[in-house]
């Protein structure tokens, strides 16, 4: 058998999560091949803002994952080439409330987060414009999150892929996985693509919004759904927004199960000058049509936070599809329904921020080593099979409840 058709692990997906899985696995000495039907960062990653956030996560498994990932991103950024190459900015995030009731809820959340290791500093109304001079007057107050950071997501994925290649990984883009190869006993033994077969005892499903399709090739159910979001991009500006700034209702929108349109103000500057404006969420399948009403709502919300944006041109808008799972937790770890299949998908809008931790955890699974985090809440088999508790076409629900981590 030719050497180029054999490896230790095939990573399906070259977005930032797949890139991180390849990076940590290759650096640990595994022979890795990354396969993607498009280019590196050609899906959700390339349509993201690059947020590395702890601020929007209540105590529980996802916050644990985010705190681990934040530490790993910082370790990566300690290497100067990385920080420059991916526009890493440890600028912190400011969450603001427009009224006292919202501020009380925000402060209560921050109190819980601090007990879990989050650095959350209350900001009184009269100090908000010291932190962000361009903010509108009259806001009730906010919380500053020192650990929040930002990268340019496509550059981050490309850098991790480049470093994985330097460690021996091979990357095959423009190549679609059409089947997962299995032994008579059901264990995976590789993948089939349009260019032939790749033989490996392990396959990592890092296919993002198409993660459910990859799982189905192995006969497993993973109810990943696309959740569409738009981002507005302004003309390049002198420094206007110092941090990531968003309205307190953004946290509720992230956690919502609604398929209907939701928008909340999210505004942040970039190293190259343009300001990014979000965020919207809606489940409309893979509908790629541009919605002017949504863009108008985003612009109006951003102007409500930063009035100076009213005279700024928006030069473009783009959309992406977040890989949504019904309980808002990604699927990370081995799938007992298909031995050899390891999942790393379903991160919704947090994939960039959670990528580093996901990559490390997957590498530990592949090596058979202890993980630095309990994977029970992320187990991929937690969803009921189609027809067991749901009608065809509906979102599957968690098969059973697990006690969530409080920190």
First to last CA, the chain: 48
Looking at the fold, whether 379 and 346 belong to one and the same domain comes out as: yes
Give the Cα-Cα-Cα angle 357, 362, 368 (nearest 5 degrees): 125
Looking at the fold, whether 152 and 64 belong to one and the same domain comes out as: yes
Distance CA 316, CA 328 (A): 29
Distance CA 378, CA 159 (A): 27
Check: CB of residue 310 under 8 Å from CB of residue 338: no
Question: pLDDT tens-digit profile of 199-258?
Answer: 999 999 999 999 999 999 999 999 999 999 999 999 999 889 999 999 987 665 555 566
Domain boundary among 127, 146, 165: 146
Looking at the fold, whether 186 and 286 belong to one and the same domain comes out as: no
Distance CA 250, CA 246 (A): 7
Helix 16-27, helix 351-367: angle, nearest 10 = 30
Indicate if the pLDDT at residue 402 is higher than 50: no
Q: Answer whether the bond into residue 279 is a cis peptide, omega within 30°.
A: yes
CATH code: domain of residue 23:
3.50.50.60
Question: pLDDT tens-digit profile of 172-196?
Answer: 999 999 999 999 988 999 999 999 9
Looking at the fold, whether 127 and 33 belong to one and the same domain comes out as: no
Task: Average the pLDDT over each of 16-25, 277-286, 391-400 and give the range with the smallest value.
Answer: 391-400
CATH code: domain of residue 320:
3.30.9.10
Neighbours of 192 (CB within 10 A): 15
Looking at the fold, whether 252 and 379 belong to one and the same domain comes out as: no
Looking at the fold, whether 166 and 258 belong to one and the same domain comes out as: no
From 339, 397, 362, select the one nearest 218 (Cα to Cα).
339
Q: Which domain holds residue 399?
A: 1-89+147-224+326-407
Distance CA 73, CA 356 (A): 6
Distance CA 334, CA 325 (A): 17
Looking at the fold, whether 156 and 29 belong to one and the same domain comes out as: yes
Looking at the fold, whether 332 and 202 belong to one and the same domain comes out as: yes
Residue labelled with tokens 């679609």: 176
Domain boundary among 324, 355, 386: 324
Question: pLDDT tens-digit profile of 255-289?
Answer: 556 667 788 889 999 888 999 998 888 888 888 88
Distance CA 77, CA 60 (A): 26
Question: pLDDT tens-digit profile of 96-143?
Answer: 999 999 999 999 999 999 999 999 999 999 999 999 999 999 999 999
3-state DSSP percent of the chain in helix, strand and coil, to 5: 35, 25, 40
Looking at the fold, whether 254 and 181 belong to one and the same domain comes out as: no
Distance CA 26, CA 274 (A): 35
Looking at the fold, whether 158 and 62 belong to one and the same domain comes out as: yes
Looking at the fold, whether 42 and 138 belong to one and the same domain comes out as: no
Based on the structure, what is the number of domains in the chain? Answer: 3
Domain boundary among 264, 296, 324: 324
Looking at the fold, whether 154 and 69 belong to one and the same domain comes out as: yes
Indicate if the pLDDT at residue 387 is higher than 70: no
From 88, 66, 92, 69, select the one nearest 79 (Cα to Cα).
88
Check: CB of residue 302 under 8 Å from CB of residue 244: no
Q: What is the 3-state secondary structure (H, E, C) of 258-292?
A: CCCCEEEEEEEECCCCCEEEEEEEECECECCCCCH
From 203, 220, 287, 228, select the one nearest 13 (Cα to Cα).
203
């Amino acid at each position: 058998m030719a050497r180029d058709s054999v490896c230790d692990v095939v990573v399906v997906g070259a977005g930032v999560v797949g890139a991180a899985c390849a990076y940590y696995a290759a650096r640990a000495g595994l022979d890795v091949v990354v396969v993607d039907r498009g280019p590196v960062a050609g899906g959700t990653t390339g349509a993201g803002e690059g947020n590395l956030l702890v601020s929007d996560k209540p105590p529980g498994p996802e916050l644990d994952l985010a705190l681990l990932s934040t530490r790993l991103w910082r370790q990566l950024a300690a290497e100067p080439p990385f920080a420059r190459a991916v526009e890493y900015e440890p600028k912190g995030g400011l969450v603001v409330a427009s009224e006292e009731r919202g501020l009380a809820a925000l402060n209560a959340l921050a109190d819980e987060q601090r007990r879990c290791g989050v650095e959350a500093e209350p900001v009184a109304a009269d100090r908000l414009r010291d932190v962000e001079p361009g903010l509108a007057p009259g806001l009730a107050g906010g919380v500053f999150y020192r650990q929040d950071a930002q990268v340019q997501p496509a550059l981050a994925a490309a850098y991790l892929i480049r470093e994985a290649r330097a460690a021996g990984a091979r990357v095959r883009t423009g190549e679609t996985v059409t089947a997962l190869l299995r032994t008579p006993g059901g264990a995976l033994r590789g993948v089939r693509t349009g260019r032939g077969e790749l033989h490996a005892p392990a396959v990592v499903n890092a296919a993002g919004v198409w993660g459910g399709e990859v799982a189905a090739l192995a006969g497993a159910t993973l109810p990943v759904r696309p959740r569409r979001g738009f981002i507005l991009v302004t003309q390049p500006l002198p420094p206007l927004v110092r941090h990531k700034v968003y309205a307190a209702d953004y946290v509720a929108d992230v956690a919502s199960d609604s398929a209907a349109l939701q928008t909340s103000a999210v505004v942040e500057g970039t190293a190259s000058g343009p300001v990014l404006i979000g965020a919207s969420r809606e489940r409309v399948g893979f509908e790629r049509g541009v919605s002017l009403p949504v863009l108008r709502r985003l612009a109006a919300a951003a102007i409500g936070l930063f009035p100076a944006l009213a005279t700024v041109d928006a030069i473009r808008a783009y959309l992406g599809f977040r890989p949504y799972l019904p309980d808002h937790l990604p699927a990370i770890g081995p799938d007992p329904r298909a031995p050899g299949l390891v999942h790393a998908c379903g991160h919704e809008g947090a994939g960039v921020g959670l990528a580093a931790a996901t990559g490390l955890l997957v590498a530990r699974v592949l090596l058979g080593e202890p993980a630095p985090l309990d994977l029970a809440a992320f187990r991929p088999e937690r969803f009921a099979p189609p027809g067991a508790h749901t009608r065809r076409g509906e979102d599957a629900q968690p098969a059973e409840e697990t006690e969530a981590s409080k920190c």
